[in-house]
Amino acid sequence: MAESEFTQEIRPPKNTIGVLPWIKENLFSSWYNTLLTVIALGILFFLLKGVFTWAFTEAKWEVIPANLQLFAIGAYPIAEVWRVWIVLYTVCALIGLSGGIWGGLTLRFAVGIGGCGIVCAFLSMGISTLGWAIRAWVLGGVALLAALLFLGTRSVSVFPKIRRWVLVGWLLSFPWTLIMLRGFGKNAVLTTNWGGLLLTLILAAVGICFCFPLGVLLALGRRSTLPVVKWVSTAYIEIVRGVPLITILFMAQIVIPIFMSDNIRLDKVLRAMLGITLFSAAYMAENVRGGLQSIPRGQYEAAQAVGLNYPLTMLFIVLPQALRSVIPAIVGQFIALFKDTSLVTIVGLLDLLGIAKTVIANPDWLGLQAEVYIFVAAIYFVFSYSMSYVSQRIEEALGVGKI
Amino acid sequence: MSTLENATNDPIIVCEDVHKWFDDFHVLKGVTTSFRKGERAVICGPSGSGKSTFIRTLNRLEEHQRGKIVVDGIELTNDLRNIDLIRREVGMVFQQFNLFPHLTNLQNITLGPIRVRKMPKSEAESVALALLERVDIADQAEKYPAEISGGQQQRVAIARALAMEPKIMLFDEPTSALDPEMITEVLDVMRELAHSGMTMLVVTHEMGFAREVADRVLFFDEGLIVEEAAPAEFFDNPQHERTKLFISQTLQH
């Protein structure tokens, strides 16, 4: 007890400088600093004044709520929208369950998604033209998420294998989403009608989830001692990295059908997914390779000495450390991929940006480019920043740079 | 003093004319020796003499290019299955510990038994805890390697190797990277292990340990075994000029 009094840490003295002295010291310390401050403030004032006057008096934001459905799902027929809701509910259920089971960061993510849903359902009341039905759907999704979250927290002790099943569920959610959105028979919604944010998110999700394992395999391949594997991986990575994404998308849309027989017709969206995934995998491989190079030789030797073979060494020793050290680069690649999906506009798919272009081209909304593009940019930013935020939290949770 | 009481006559490691090159550099120039089951051998020699490379060829961390190595009846060749079999029988402790930094001390120990020996997790953990108890750091089980001292890390590394229930333990300068006050705690663990009858090959500069524990001391110089003898004879009556010089230099301090 008495000891702790002596060993108590002494904190550095508090910074006692107030606001005014700080301003004086940092902004007006000499005549030229004063001059610079005044000029900067002046420029800032005129810029902000321009932006605010435009945003609050001149801009015609009506274009956004009036076309909200287009932005969200493109030309997806309204009678079949229930399919989209089912897909969203599936994802909500999986997020809730995962949050409940794994806790920690996953739990916070699930709660965050739920919070966003509630905000969407209530905050925009009065501003947006969101119908009551949509609000009800959203709240229903949040309720489902919350219920499964609760169920998840309880299920682990009763049914320990549930973790494995939820992972399987996540894997199955990809084919499930595609099948559900498309449907069969005369009510089938062809992928040419998929659009807006829905298409952007599907392209990005498929790209992110499949380019990652592919990239890891390519990175391991490039470092392999087997000459053929090494040569093929290196050639693939270098060729793909030497070609712009647009070229690959064009090749996927135009060149592949030439080589394929007429009875096999790959779906247009599927071809775009393939192009994006294969393109990103090459970059992902190089990111992962950077992480692999940072693992000292002693780790491999220790793993071998314990008796682990190559796959086990990679899976349990090398990759966990290598990937952890390159999380920022990997998430950067994910964000780039998410934004790059906007290039599919060029091959005739109407993703979020494509829809923006069609809205602007509509005679009813002529001359409203600025409003539409700002809105679209804001959506891209929200998703990209969320990814960046989550990656920072993951880095913290895994203690990157701590050891 | 040093008896061969727990060393039998069956050789467990046999090396015949082992050669190793690093590019043009001829590291091992024909090493021929054998080790008996339960034998405790200390390998010493000046740096660059090939002693570390030699024990690393015994579990194929380094490949020998000529000669023959037979460990526990299995010859080391390029056959991956043989290499895997031998590595299960041979534990190794490194100069730089080489613990897995992303796993707790307990997980470091249980990884091999669970993944290689397919031991159930609960059983592997109780084995690991018993081993941590044996190396006297049971209270550090849930910590990460970066959170404990070098001496403690090396003891975890010894426990990790023991968890695979090896027949042979290789030590590659286990105390060279440690602060002086931590050397004793690691040597104590090794001493205890030696008394338990484990076959041990130890590359070390700890001559006191060699004199006290070893059945045989092997002196390496320029890729060859220059002299091998029981410690009493090795230290008190060295035959070779190079050995005499080495002993006089190491015993000066």
Q: Is B36 helix (H, G, I), strand (E, B) or coil?
A: strand
- Order across the sheet with B11-22: list the strands: B25-36, B11-22, B66-71, B74-75
Contact (CB<8Å) B61/A312: no
The partner residue sitting opposite B87, judged by closest CB among A299, A305, A317, is: A305
A323 touches chain B (CB under 8 A): no
Work out the average pLDDT over B1-17: 70
B40 touches chain A (CB under 8 A): no
* Backbone torsions φ then ψ of B44, nearest 5 degrees: -135, 175
Q: Are A221 and A229 in contact (CB under 8 A)?
A: yes
The Cα–Cα gap between B57 and B200 comes to 15
Contact (CB<8Å) B87/A307: yes
Residue B115 neighbours by CB distance under 10 Å: 19
Q: Are A328 and A174 in contact (CB under 8 A)?
A: no
A308 touches chain B (CB under 8 A): yes
Q: Which amino acid is at B62?
A: E
Residue A322: name the closest of A288, A286, A281 by CA. A288
Residues B101-118 pLDDT 10s = 999 999 999 999 999 999
Question: If pLDDT is split at 50, 70 and 90, which confidence band does B231 have?
Answer: very high
- Could you list the pLDDT tens digit for every one of the 403 residues in chain A? 444 455 666 676 666 667 888 888 888 888 888 999 999 999 999 999 999 999 888 888 888 888 888 898 888 888 888 899 999 999 999 999 999 888 888 888 899 989 988 888 776 555 555 677 788 888 899 999 999 988 888 887 888 788 889 999 999 998 899 888 888 777 788 888 888 999 999 999 999 999 999 999 999 999 999 999 999 999 999 999 999 999 999 988 888 777 777 666 678 888 899 999 999 999 999 999 999 999 999 999 999 999 999 999 999 999 999 998 899 999 999 999 999 999 999 888 999 999 999 999 989 888 888 999 999 999 999 999 999 998 888 888 877 545 4
Rounded to two decimals, the pTM is 0.83
A397 touches chain B (CB under 8 A): no
Residue A106: name the closest of A188, A52, A43, A170 by CA. A170
Report residue A358 as tokens.
Answer: 């069609």
